[in-house]
């Protein structure tokens, strides 16, 4: 788990001005370990460093991994500069993902903010592919501006299967969607609270307001899951950097049931 495995970039697709999606496959051609949506890999760009990036592709594609990453520093810039044929190092999969088995038969409410849509994409694909397995699905997706929303083609495709509500902070008069905050849409939408599970991923402030909005709508803490971000280095709970209260975000998370982390979620500087 300490030494990366060599992968090759198969496809590179820019999503927005600062975000790119890479599809990668193992250079040795050997089988890949499976993963659960919500888990992550550590991606290493030669000499530039290593960063944790969630899986954003489908677990049913056994030969490749797909990762959407945003350019934020040296390592992500180097990864985003890779072209098809270039190699990188990969460690993983790590952590705990979304409770996929528990979603069966439930009404699934997905709330994503910004880049937080990436780890939820495989969940949404699963919801859209087999709607009969779920009592219903809704997506609430908030972003900065319309041109910074991820996966716009997929958003349109999902909207044919279930309710998709988009919200941006800023837009011009051509934008037909919501302008404001995602919690407004949550507050005013039809939301069943029985037999419902909510999956939340986005900036921590957005998740705080979202959890409060979901609680106000009557969702139990045990029905809310969210994905946390902390400083993950080793990814196996040995280096201590991602500690958050009693949790190691890298191995106990990044996906947590809110009921388990409620005492820590609103506490500052832990």
Partner 1 sequence: MQTEILLAEHLDALIRALNQAGYMVIGPVRDEAAIVYDEVHCAEDLPQGWLDEQEKGHYRLLPSGDNRYFGYTVAANAWKKFLNPPERLLWRARRVGGQIEFVPQSAQAPKLAFLGVRSCELHAIRIQDEVFIHDAHRDDDYNSRRQHLLTVAVNCTRAAATCFCASMDTGPEVSLPSDLVMTEVVAEDSHYFVISAGTEAGQAVKDGLPLRPASDDENAAALAGIDAARWQMQNGPRFFDNSDTKALLYRNLESPVWDEVAERCLSCANCTLACPTCFCSEVEDTSDLSGEHAERWQRWDSCFNGDFSYIHGGPVRDSTASRYRQWMTHKLATWVDQFGQSGCVGCGRCVSWCPVGIDITEQLQRLREGESS
Partner 2 sequence: MKSVAQFVREHSLFEGMDAGQVDFIAGCGQLQRSAVGNYLTRENDPADCFYLLLEGRVAIETHRPNQPAVPLLTLNANDVVGWAWLIPPYRYQFDARAVTPLRTVRLDARCIRDKCETDPTLGYELLKRLSAVMLSRLQCARIQLLDLYANPSTGGKVPSR
CA distance 128 to 138: 10
Question: Which positions from 235 through 254 interact with partner 1, judged by CB under 8 A?
Answer: 236-241, 243, 245-246, 248, 251
Interface characters, 36-75, with partner 2 (x: CB under 8 A): ----------------------------------xxxx--
User: In this structure, are strands 65-70 and 19-26 parallel, antiparallel, or unpaired?
Assistant: antiparallel
Binding of residue 119 to partner 2 (CB under 8 A): no
Q: Which of 30, 47, 173, 269 binds partner 2 (CB under 8 A)?
A: 173
Residue 31 interaction partner, one of partner 2, partner 1, none, beta carbon < 5-8 Å per kind: none
Q: For residue 168, what are the β-bridge partners?
A: 143, 179
Neighbours of 42 (CB within 10 A): 22
60-70 b/e with 16+ CB inside 10 Å = b? eeeebbbbbbb
Using the Cα atoms of residue 113, residue 55, residue 70 and residue 261 in order, give the sign of their dihedral: positive
CB of 92 to partner 1, least distance (A): 12
Please count the other Cβ atoms lying within 10 Å of the Cβ belonging to residue 175. Answer: 14
Residue 180 makes contact with partner 2 by CB under 8 A: yes
Applying CB under 8 A, the site for partner 2 has a residue count of: 44
Pairing of strands 163-168, 136-143: parallel
Closest distance of CB 185 from partner 2, Å: 7
Site for partner 1, rule CB under 8 A? 1-6, 27, 44, 46-50, 72-73, 85-89, 229-231, 233-234, 236-241, 243, 245-246, 248, 251, 267-270
């Amino acid at each position: 788990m300490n030494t990366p495995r060599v992968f090759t970039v198969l496809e590179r697709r820019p999503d927005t001005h600062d975000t790119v999606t890479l599809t990668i496959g193992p250079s040795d051609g050997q089988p890949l370990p499976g993963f659960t949506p919500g888990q992550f890999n550590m991606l290493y760009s030669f000499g530039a460093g290593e960063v944790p990036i969630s899986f954003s592709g489908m677990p049913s594609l056994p030969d490749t991994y797909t990762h959407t990453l945003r350019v934020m520093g040296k390592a992500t810039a180097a990864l985003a500069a890779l072209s098809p044929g270039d190699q990188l190092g990969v460690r993983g999969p790590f952590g705990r993902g979304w409770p996929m088995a528990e979603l069966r038969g439930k009404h699934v409410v997905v709330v994503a903010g910004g880049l937080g849509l990436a780890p939820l994409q495989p969940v949404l694909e699963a919801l859209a592919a087999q709607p009969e397995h779920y009592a219903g699905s809704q997506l609430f997706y908030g972003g900065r501006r319309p041109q910074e929303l991820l996966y716009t083609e997929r958003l349109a495709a999902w909207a044919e299967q279930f309710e998709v509500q988009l919200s941006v902070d800023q837009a011009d008069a051509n934008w037909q969607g919501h302008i404001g905050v995602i919690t407004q849409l949550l507050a005013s939408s039809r939301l069943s609270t029985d037999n419902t599970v909510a999956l939340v991923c986005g900036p921590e402030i957005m998740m705080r307001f979202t959890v409060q909005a979901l609680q106000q709508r009557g969702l139990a803490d045990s029905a809310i899951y969210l994905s946390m971000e902390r400083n993950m280095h080793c990814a196996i709970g040995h280096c201590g950097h991602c500690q958050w209260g009693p949790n190691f975000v890298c191995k106990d998370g990044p996906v947590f049931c809110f009921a388990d982390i409620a005492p820590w979620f609103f506490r500052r500087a832990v």
